[in-house]
């Protein structure tokens, strides 16, 4: 360990022993996804997740507009003790074209997050969208977060971003330069029905770099894999996907409406197909790659997923699919019999029957994706857009901005 590194608190268990396998992501509590998040049912969503469905982990960021404040308010209203849920946020991304990874800014951001989230500590903080800054800035941010860890303000430190190769390289850099691996990597949009580039070499490199858990987020790729798509609504203003990718995703959504298989499984559209496929694939791949969590119980680990919703109905649908994934893996879970019976998912009375049903559902969804959706994507299967795009300038880095203008 480098001489300027704060020692790791000896009482901290590895993250994979404590991170819940399913997290409610609250990027949707933001004007990037809804016109007015303050009038969406955010209180009901959080209560339903934590109190009724046993989903006891939440992901947010100060970059997500009012998300932290709305989540903090909703969590407090549940009356659930702080020790009974896992809370993660991010730091470093100030706005769409501005990043400040300096130690004072990172630490001020986390302290502000504590106020917004109404909590004395957060469990995990990510350096947000780390591909947009230099390697030196990432190292500075990680060291700043670890200093807060030494103060008890946070417990685990991670990095998040879009390009999986960059995330792997940064994981290796952090281990090499600090002598301690990063606890977590949050990857988004790279284990979906359209893009599975997280699997294989990138996640293997992260594991070899000592990363405890890799979380798979944005299974619908920020709304790209939805019936509505991203050409209508708030996403049209900012979504980074090129027109060609938007077009093929719209075709894939139509296939899910026209083909009989999703309906026969009780799935309403591409949203449920994509969620089920990605949750199941990552649950297994995360375990195979040893970047999983074992907190779900049983003898097996499971890859952790971050899911965002805008209604309680969407949350219920997600929970049902998640329970079915766990059934297929033979893992225990929190379940509501009424919900399961109504949907016909995981409603069999005994564990062996539930596992059989879960495996059959997994196989049916996998077959549909591979035979019906993958051909639609064609050459855009596994396509990832550039992040950052060519010529991008960090507006909060005066030296870089001045050089770009000269």
User: How many alpha carbons fall within 13 Å on the CB side of residue 319?
Assistant: 25
In order of 227, 257, 260, 263, 377, the CA distances from 268 in angstroms are: 10, 8, 11, 6, 21
- 186: which strand partners? 160, 215
Residue 64 known to be catalytic? yes
Which phi and psi (to 5°) does residue 298 adopt? 80, -170
Q: Hey, what's the torsion of the CAs at 60, 62, 67, 68, to 10 degrees?
A: 80
| CA–CA dist 402, 69 (Å, integer) | 35
Are residues 119 and 85 in contact, defined by beta-carbon separation less than 8 angstroms?
Answer: no
- The three-state secondary structure class of 342 is helix
Question: Measured in whole angstroms, how far is the alpha carbon of residue 336 from the centre of its chain?
Answer: 24
Burial grade of 383 (CB within 10 A; 0-12, 13-18, 19 or more): middle
Q: Is 109 left (phi over 0), alpha (psi -120 to 50) or beta?
A: alpha
Q: Check 64, 101, 156, 277 and give the catalytic one.
A: 64
CB-neighbour burial class of residue 50 (10 A; exposed 0-12, middle 13-18, buried 19+): buried
Length of the chain as a residue count: 406
- Indicate which residues carry an active-site annotation: 64
């Amino acid at each position: 360990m480098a001489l300027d590194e704060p020692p790791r608190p000896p009482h901290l268990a590895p993250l994979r022993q404590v991170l819940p396998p399913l997290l409610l992501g609250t990027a949707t509590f933001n004007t990037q996804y809804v016109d007015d998040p303050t009038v969406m049912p955010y209180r009901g969503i959080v209560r339903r997740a934590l109190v009724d469905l046993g989903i006891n982990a939440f992901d947010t960021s100060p970059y997500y507009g009012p998300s932290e404040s709305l989540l903090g308010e909703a969590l407090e209203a549940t009356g659930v003790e702080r020790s009974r849920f896992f809370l993660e946020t991010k730091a470093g991304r100030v706005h769409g074209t501005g990043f400040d990874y300096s130690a004072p800014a990172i630490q001020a951001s986390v302290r502000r997050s504590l106020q917004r989230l109404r909590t004395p500590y957060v469990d995990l903080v990510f350096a947000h969208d780390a591909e947009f800054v230099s390697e030196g800035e990432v190292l500075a941010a990680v060291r700043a977060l670890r200093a807060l860890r030494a103060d008890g303000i946070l417990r685990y430190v991670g990095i998040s971003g879009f390009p999986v190769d960059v995330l792997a390289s940064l994981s290796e850099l952090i281990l090499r330069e600090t002598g301690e691996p990063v606890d977590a990597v949050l990857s988004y949009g790279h284990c979906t029905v359209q893009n599975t580039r997280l699997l294989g070499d990138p996640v293997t490199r992260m594991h070899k770099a000592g990363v405890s858990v890799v979380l798979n987020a944005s299974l619908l790729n920020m709304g790209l894999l939805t019936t509505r798509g991203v050409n209508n609504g708030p996403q049209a203003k900012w979504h980074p996907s090129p027109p060609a990718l938007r077009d093929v995703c719209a075709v894939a959504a139509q296939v899910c409406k026209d083909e009989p298989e999703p309906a026969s499984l009780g799935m309403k559209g591409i949203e449920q197909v994509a969620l089920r496929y990605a949750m199941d694939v990552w649950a297994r791949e995360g375990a195979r790659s040893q970047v999983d969590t074992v907190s779900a119980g049983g003898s097996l680990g499971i890859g952790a997923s971050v899911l965002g919703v805008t209604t309680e109905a969407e949350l219920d649908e997600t929970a049902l699919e998640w329970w079915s994934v766990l059934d297929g893996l033979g893992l225990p879970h929190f379940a509501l019999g009424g919900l399961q019976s109504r949907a016909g998912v995981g409603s069999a009375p005994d564990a062996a029957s539930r596992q059989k049903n879960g495996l059959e559902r997994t196989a049916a969804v996998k077959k549909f994706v591979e035979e019906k959706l993958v051909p639609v994507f064609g050459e855009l299967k596994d396509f990832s857009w550039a992040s950052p795009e060519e010529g991008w300038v960090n507006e909060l880095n005066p030296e870089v901005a001045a050089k770009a203008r000269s």
